Amino acid sequence: MTISIDRQKDNHQRLQPNGWLRYFSFSLDHKVIGIQYMVCGFLFYLIGGTLASAIRIELASPMSDFLPRDVYNQFLTLHGTIMIFLWIVPVVNGAFGNYLIPFYVGARDMAFPRLNAVAFWLIPPSGLMLIASYFVEGAAQSGWTAYPPLSITTPQSGQIIWIISVLLLGGSSIFGGINFIATIIKLRRPGLKLMQLPMYCWAMLGTSLLVVLSTPVLAGTLILLSFDIVAHTGFFNPVLGGNVVVYQHLFWFYSHPAVYIMVLPAFGLVSEILPVHSRKPLFGYTTMVYSIMGIVVLGLVVWAHHMFTSGTPPWMRLFFTIATSFIAVPTGIKFFNWVATLWGGKISINSAMLFSCGFIINFVFGGITGVALAQVPFDIHVHDTYFVVAHFHYIVYGGTVFIIFSSIYHWFPKVTGKMLGEKLGIIHFAITFIGFNLCFAPQHWLGLNGMPRRVAEYDPQFQFVNQISSIGALLMAISTIPFLVNIFLSVRNGKDSGDNPWNALTPEWLTSSPPPVENWEGDAPLVVEPYGYGDSFSQKNKKI
Amino acid sequence: MLNKNIYLILIISCVFGISFWIGFNVNLLPAEASINAPIYDELFKILFVIGLIIFIGMTLAVIYSLFKFKRRKDEIGDGIALEGNLSLEIIWTLIPSIIVLIIGIYSYNIYDRMGGMKELNHSHEMMSSNNEKIWAGISQSSNNDIANNNLSVEVSAMQFAFLFNYPKGEFISGELHVPVNNKVSMRMESKDVIHAFWVPEFRIKQDIIPGQPTILNFTPTKIGKYPIICAELCGPYHGGMRASIIVEDESDYKDWFNKNKKTEVDL
């Protein structure tokens, strides 16, 4: 089987352009696809960030004076959709997953290279279509949740384009998920056991299970919603006897696991980064694996905590409170284990390490507000307020996006063979960390004191705190400048990194940087102790 | 060794002390104006203190590690080859489980005191039929309490306004007037999209859903004027969808009611 794959690949490679043009082609190389995901995702991050800046400018004053009201709603819808479906999900899953997973399992490519390329090439057109809908008749304006009946009554073209775009992105995500499961289960190098895999493989296995189990539900729901919009069916339209709360159940059955689709891979990535830079084995490998799987199972049965005010029966509220609270246990284990990994190490304080530690601090904060939000009586006051906005930005930005940056600093030498500048990296971290906390910490107070989310205007007494938040957002926007300058300078004339600048033991570093097309010159190495750092291990983990 | 333990105990008690002090002295919440509010604030304080202890503790541990275990210049070699510690891992599985369980039971108790677990009912003369499907909200009172004595209001929400129908007086108002310390029972329904009824000072919120009436009961305790805020995105003017609730003493409320009523009833 490997032979036929190799031959197919050879044929294909002959048809491909060389050099940088490869990155604009239908390449089957998992490394090229990973970079395509990364760069494409980052471009959408810049667009989503621009929309966020527009939102924060509007909110710098209590009146609705910067954007027209319907455009404001379009911006917040696009901001959420772009950041989730075009930046975080494709990057933590697609970019790092494609680049790293074949190395980690000792394969030369993913299990289904063509499916892999299709999964990537669904993203740019659907993203562009989503943004283009703004110029047609206005983009969707019912929020990224698209609750009916609002999504049925707002202008149709934008909402339909939004649905088609999200369906394509969901398809891309499912293709990717199937590919990761197949690669991790079936393409492992002979002799490599599951419990010897680097933690990111486990995270991707769990994430892909969630993708495959829950994304089809979202797809079905959105198809029904589109019928309601164009064919005037009555699934969710109360005028025709439909039930709007059923939509919320179906939507959150995907969209809560979607949170784990966004954070579990980040948990995997940080588990790779911390041991390398603190020169210690990952603390508690086995409990880490079990806690990932625990989060996957629990993550599927907590969705109704988004609906405590929607009219759910009391027993259901109770069940979802308890189930949601218990997610804190496996998540807590992971955080204690990471701190224990730092403890007693020889820590190099560099940009990758700082972003990872920033992640721990931000995520612990977001996790604590999450446990609070899981309690029905607590949630009833703050649901749909800025408290919730602050909470999930602590999870997805303070958590996942911090890890994306940390990972870029960590794996940039692998991908390019050049080091990123440390000074600019630390400046980037400092501005991001301060800006992020300045932007989102005050929003907890706003929510508790009476500012609902998704509003273009608010009471004048909230102006001062909103302005602090907007200054934080400005800092976050500025923080991308040192980052981009750093990337540009390094690609132009960065310091040569050598093959393994961090002296890491995971298999992707046991080849040249950048790696050859077939990943290794000879056979793939058998790495049974991917975290064998520490003095007593020094001789144990040689390249085989 | 003894010294180390003393420092550890000292630091832990400092973290606890600071957390308790902040939790009980920093007020992040608006005024309390309903029976629900003090109960909610009690829960908030407990969660705030527990959250602070965990957050400060974890942050200190990370920052301490970064300073204490920093690699010095031209230092080579690795850290200790510690791959795990089963008893430690069991401890930090069990303790969070217990904390989470206690929080869950406690918040259940809070929710019960707020009336969330009670059978919902709405005392209403104009209730359409007995088998009408009514969805949950917060109920402040048991079936017996609700019998006669409390105030019934029908709320209808539409883009972008709330209307309050007082069936006893057969009139509709744009402001919600209620007498202080009286139970208010509201039956809410939306005319178009989903809205939500939120009064921050009362710590209550309930979505108003088209085609699916919801119930919300509360008892205001403080005279004053409070905002009613729509919390569910409902269209371009969502941010401007506001109304006021005016809590006044019994006689003021009677005057207002008698001025507006259409039919001859006495309160």
pLDDT in tens, A134-167: 998 889 999 999 999 999 998 899 999 999 999 9
Q: Please count the structural domains in chain A.
A: 1
Distance CA B242, CA A63 (A): 14
Distance CA A412, CA A400 (A): 18
Token pair 């891979």 is found at: A265
Q: Which of B103, B122, B187 to mutate to probe the A interface, most A CBs <10 Å?
A: B103
Q: What is the CATH number of the domain that holds A88?
A: 1.20.210.10
CA distances from A185 to A9, A33, A164, A300 (A): 22, 21, 32, 22
Whether residue B160 is preceded by a cis peptide bond, meaning omega within 30 degrees of 0, is: yes
- 3-class state of residue A184 by DSSP: helix
Higher per-residue pLDDT: A84 or B121: A84
Cβ <8 Å between B204 and A380: yes
Give A353's contacts in chain B (Cβ within 8 Å).
66
The model's confidence at residue B137, banded by pLDDT at 50, 70 and 90, is low
pLDDT > 70? residue A305: yes
Quote the pLDDT of residue B100: 92
Quote the pLDDT of residue A544: 33
Q: Which two tokens stand for residue A293?
A: 């799987």
The residue among A273, A409, A422, A349 whose CA lies nearest residue B70 is A349
User: Domain B143-260: what homologous superfamily?
Assistant: Cupredoxins -  blue copper proteins (2.60.40.420)
First to last CA, chain A: 24
What is the per-residue pLDDT across A306-347, written as a single tens digit (0 to 9) for each? 998 887 777 788 889 999 999 999 999 999 999 999 998 899
Range of the domain at A288: 26-531
The residue among B81, B235, B186, B232 whose CA lies nearest residue A140 is B235
Picking from A69, A286, A329, the nearest residue to B100 by CB comes out as A329
Mean pLDDT of B219-243: 93
Q: In this structure, is residue A71 part of a structural domain?
A: yes
Give A337's contacts in chain B (Cβ within 8 Å).
84, 89
What is the per-residue pLDDT across A491-544, written as a single tens digit (0 to 9) for each? 998 889 889 999 999 999 999 989 998 898 888 888 888 998 886 554 444 433
What is the per-residue pLDDT across A40-63, written as a single tens digit (0 to 9) for each? 999 999 999 999 999 999 999 999
Quote the pLDDT of residue A315: 78
Q: Which residues of A325-347 are buried (b: 16+ CB within 10 A; e: fewer)?
A: bbbbbbbbbbbbbbbbbbbbbbb
CA distances from A81 to A130, A155, A166 (A): 9, 18, 8
**Can you say whether the dihedral through the CA atoms of A208, A214, A218, A224 is positive or negative?**
positive
In chain A, the percentage of residues whose pLDDT exceeds 90 is 80
What percentage of chain A's residues is helix, strand, coil (to nearest 5)?
70, 0, 25
- 3-class state of residue A356 by DSSP: helix
Under 8 Å CB pairs connecting chains A and B tally to 285
Cβ <8 Å between B92 and A455: no
What is the per-residue pLDDT across A96-123, written as a single tens digit (0 to 9) for each? 999 999 999 999 999 999 999 999 999 9
Complex confidence, ipTM:
0.91
Mean pLDDT of A439-468: 94
Instruction: Give me the residue spans of the domains in chain B.
Output: 2-63+92-114, 143-260
Report the residue of chain A nearest B28, measured CA to CA: A445
Cβ <8 Å between B107 and A536: no
Cβ <8 Å between A284 and B89: yes
Does the CB of B210 have a partner CB in chain A at under 8 Å? Answer: yes
Quote the pLDDT of residue B138: 56
Q: In this structure, is residue A538 part of a structural domain?
A: no
Give B55's contacts in chain A (Cβ within 8 Å).
364-365, 368
Cα A410 → chain centroid: 17
Distance CA B158, CA B174 (A): 12
What is the per-residue pLDDT across B26-63, written as a single tens digit (0 to 9) for each? 889 999 999 889 999 999 999 999 999 999 999 999 99
Quote the pLDDT of residue A541: 46
- Name the amino acid, one letter, at A209: L
The whole-chain average pLDDT of chain A stands at 91
DSSP H or E segment with residue B218: strand B214-218
A320 within 8 A of A329, measured Cβ to Cβ = no
As beta bridge partners, residue B140 has none
As beta bridge partners, residue B36 has none
Distance CA A544, CA A9 (A): 27
Give A360's contacts in chain B (Cβ within 8 Å).
58, 62
Quote the pLDDT of residue B125: 35
Cβ <8 Å between A344 and B80: yes
- Name the amino acid, one letter, at B221: T
Distance CA A531, CA B1 (A): 30
Q: Which two tokens stand for residue A451?
A: 């500012």
Token pair 């990194």 is found at: A497
DSSP state of B122: -
The model's confidence at residue B76, banded by pLDDT at 50, 70 and 90, is confident
Cα A499 → chain centroid: 28
pLDDT > 60? residue B102: yes
- Name the amino acid, one letter, at A405: F
Helices (H) then strands (E): counts for chain B: 5, 10
Residue B229, class by beta-carbon neighbours within 10 Å (0-12 exposed, 13-18 middle, 19+ buried)?
buried
The C-alpha of A385 sits at a distance from chain B's nearest C-alpha, in angstroms, of: 7
Give A375's contacts in chain B (Cβ within 8 Å).
43, 47, 103-104, 107, 110-111
The C-alpha of A34 sits at a distance from chain B's nearest C-alpha, in angstroms, of: 31
As beta bridge partners, residue B247 has B178, B224
Distance CA A416, CA A414 (A): 6
Compute φ and ψ for B151, nearest 5 degrees.
-85, 130
CA distances from A231 to A133, A143, A227, A367, A475 (A): 20, 22, 5, 42, 46
Report the residue of chain B nearest A287, measured CA to CA: B89
Report the residue of chain A nearest B94, measured CA to CA: A329
Whether residue A149 is preceded by a cis peptide bond, meaning omega within 30 degrees of 0, is: yes
B67 within 8 A of A342, measured Cβ to Cβ = no
Beta-carbon count within 10 A of A71 CB: 18
Quote the pLDDT of residue A36: 95
Strand B171-173 with B176-179, pairing = unpaired
The model's confidence at residue B213, banded by pLDDT at 50, 70 and 90, is confident
